[in-house]
Amino acid sequence: MANKRRLFRSPGRANIIGEHTDYNDGLVLPTNTALYTWLTISPRTDRMVAVTADNFAEKDQFHLDEIVRNEQPTWIDYLKGVAAEIEATGIQLSGADISIYGEIPIGGGLSSSASVEIAMASAMLGIAGASMTSREMARACQRAEQTYGGVNCGIMDQFSVASCDRGHAMLLDCRTLETESVTIPAEMTLLVTDSGVKHQLTESGYNKRADECREAVKILQLEDSAIIALRDLETETLKAHAERLGEVLLRRCRHVVSENQRVRDAFNSLRLGEIVEVGSLVQCSHASLRDDFEVSCEEIESLVAIADACDGVLGSRMMGGGFGGCVLSVVRTDCIPEVSREIATQYGAVCGAEPWIHAVSAAAPAEEVALP
């Protein structure tokens, strides 16, 4: 089995619209980008999994028969989680020597962890000669993130990284897991700028927001047992429940309900090539995330204001879990060089260092590639 090295890569994901809707059984509209997690793997004859994480120059290992969850997760826990969750489905994996290198900024809202998880799942299944549908793989990796990473995340990131087609965005219904693809018009480019504020989802308010949404569902269920998730609410029904929910939960619910509608509208606008409309929806999404869901922060606000003031920017918003990370801007493609320069100068002056800026490329989902 020696020297059977194989190489897998898994992209990052950029979410056009549909934030904090996935764990509410709602709608999202992500795409992938050519920032990769690279993973080389060779099978071993035993059940040890030995990993080198090139970004940290660190090594760690675990045995497939003794996978223990760590209270304070480190990078290896995501890999342990993926192996454990795949084996829990009845697939037998083999030990492996692995090395991983990630290009996606960690904690930037571009799903570095989902990308690592899906790369690991693809590679471990690959050497075991086993397969899962991308839907099953996404589910297993989501469980890994929840159980071993400590984040009560939804399915969006893993699903997008595992299956969103090259050149497209994917409308994903997080309840039924039905998808519909839409081409990203050539005149529109998604530009991602890192605010430099690292979010650590477990420590940020992410789990708190997920709890608040669950609490709201419990309250609403007392009135209407057909409400299983916030997905089941409409603007009108929400109004009728306002008093019971109280001010804060009402705002959380209002974000989810209005965001689901914005995802539908953005999908239709993309289909028609109406990029100005996509930009306005992105702007409305940001206002709702800031005011109703309260997951923005000062630096993100300043970056969104700078980006939105640039000629050629149609709308910007915080992306991902929030409390830092990246801002996504919908930009006219022919304005990308000027907009990038302007954001770099202006935000650079605010935060004291030139920000990392990336143009999203609608890259292919995770795949095995030839070793150079």
Paired tokens of 112: 């570095």
Q: Which is nearer to ligand GLA, 141 or 303 (CB)?
A: 141
Least Cβ distance, residue 157 to ligand GLA (angstroms): 5
Paired tokens of 267: 């999908």
Least Cβ distance, residue 15 to ligand GLA (angstroms): 6
Query: Considering only residues 9, 10, 12, 22, which one is a binding residue for ligand GLA as defined by CB under 6 A?
Result: 22
Q: Is 157 a catalytic residue?
A: yes
How far apart (Å, rounded) are the C-alpha atoms in residues 366 and 119?
7
With binding defined as CB under 6 A, does residue 20 bind ligand GLA?
A: yes
Considering only residues 161 to 220 of the shown chain, the ones binding ligand GLA according to CB under 6 A are none
Residues 6+ positions from 372 with CB-CB distance below 8 Å: none
3-class secondary-structure state, position 224? coil
With binding defined as CB under 6 A, does residue 156 bind ligand GLA?
A: yes
Least Cβ distance, residue 66 to ligand GLA (angstroms): 28
Q: How many residues bind ligand GLA (CB under 6 A)?
A: 11
Least Cβ distance, residue 273 to ligand GLA (angstroms): 25
**From 22, 25, 77, 157, active-site residue:** 157
Alpha helices in the chain (DSSP H): 75-87, 112-128, 134-149, 156-163, 206-223, 235-240, 242-272, 275-291, 298-308, 336-351
Write the binding mask 101 to 120 for ligand GLA: x where contact by CB under 6 A, - elsewhere.
Answer: ----------x---------
How far apart (Å, rounded) are the C-alpha atoms in residues 325 and 195?
6
**Residue 71 DSSP one-character state:** S
With binding defined as CB under 6 A, does residue 19 bind ligand GLA?
A: yes
**Residue 172, CA atoms < 13 Å, CB-side half-sphere:** 33
Least Cβ distance, residue 50 to ligand GLA (angstroms): 28
Tell me the DSSP string of 24-43: GT-EEEEEEEEEEEEEEEEE
Quick one: which segment of 16-24, 71-79, 228-236, 283-291 binds ligand GLA (CB under 6 A)?
16-24
- Contact by Cβ (8 Å): 98, 41: yes
Considering only residues 300 to 359 of the shown chain, the ones binding ligand GLA according to CB under 6 A are 320-321
Active site residues: 157
Applying CB under 6 A, which residues contact ligand GLA? 19-20, 22-23, 111, 153-154, 156-157, 320-321
